[in-house]
Amino acid sequence: MVEKNNELLKSMLQPDNMIRLYASGAFPMADDSGQINWYMPEIRTIIPLDNFNTPRSARKAIEKQNFEIKFDNDYLNVIKGCADRPSTWISDELIVAYRRLHKRGYLHTVETYQNGKLVGGLYGITFRGAFFGESMFSKVSQASKAALIALLHHLKEKDFVLLDVQYMTEHLRMFGAIEISWEEYSSLLQKAYLSGCSF
């Protein structure tokens, strides 16, 4: 039985199965033992792409930092940056699975550079008009905020329908994040899947 469960969990990390799970509203997280589980909370947090906020304080700080923003330039180091913390849900096995998704064109990053060095960023999974934000990191003050601001404007410009950020945090609330019901979330998913946009 244990072997069958392990086989099932591994099969869920294959690219086609992962995209099906994301498309149904689920997302993966590894627990302290390294086992990867998929979650589908009834209350979801999104940042509305037609009504997001760019904090004035963040804009001013970002201007002072002289950041350079790039897209899809160094995805692996962005993921490793997000995983580099005392306690992380981004296991080595999950990183391997993300590498497979990147090869298939589903994983994307926004990177913040300062003096040519990667100092922050974020990554997520895309499927048609939906961007499923996974994690962000910052080695310099405001670096992750700079990446998020760039992402918001990029998704709006590309006519994306949904930016799913999973759970509410004070950091995300600053940008206009809201909690919605599963019914509202499912409706946005359906609209996103009718969209032909690409990252």
Q: Where are the domains of the chain?
A: 41-193
Q: Are 84 and 137 in contact (CB under 8 A)?
A: yes
Nearest partner of 167 among 52, 51, 40, 49, judged by Cα: 40
- As a whole number, the mean pLDDT across the chain is 91
Q: The tokens 């048609």 sit on which residue?
A: 128
Confidence (pLDDT) at 163:
98
Q: What percent of the chain has pLDDT over 90?
A: 79
Q: The tokens 């939906």 sit on which residue?
A: 130
Give a three-class secondary structure readout of 69-106: EEECCCHHHHHHHHHCCCCCCCCHHHHHHHHHHHHCCC
C-alpha torsion 46→170→77→115, nearest 10:
120
The CATH number corresponding to 41-193 among 3.40.50.720, 3.30.70.20, 3.30.930.20, 3.40.630.70 equals 3.40.630.70
Residue 80's pLDDT band (boundaries 50, 70, 90)? very high
pTM above 0.85, yes or no: yes
Nearest partner of 148 among 29, 43, 64, 47, judged by Cα: 47
Q: Does position 19 have pLDDT exceeding 80, yes or no?
A: yes
Residue 123's pLDDT band (boundaries 50, 70, 90)? very high
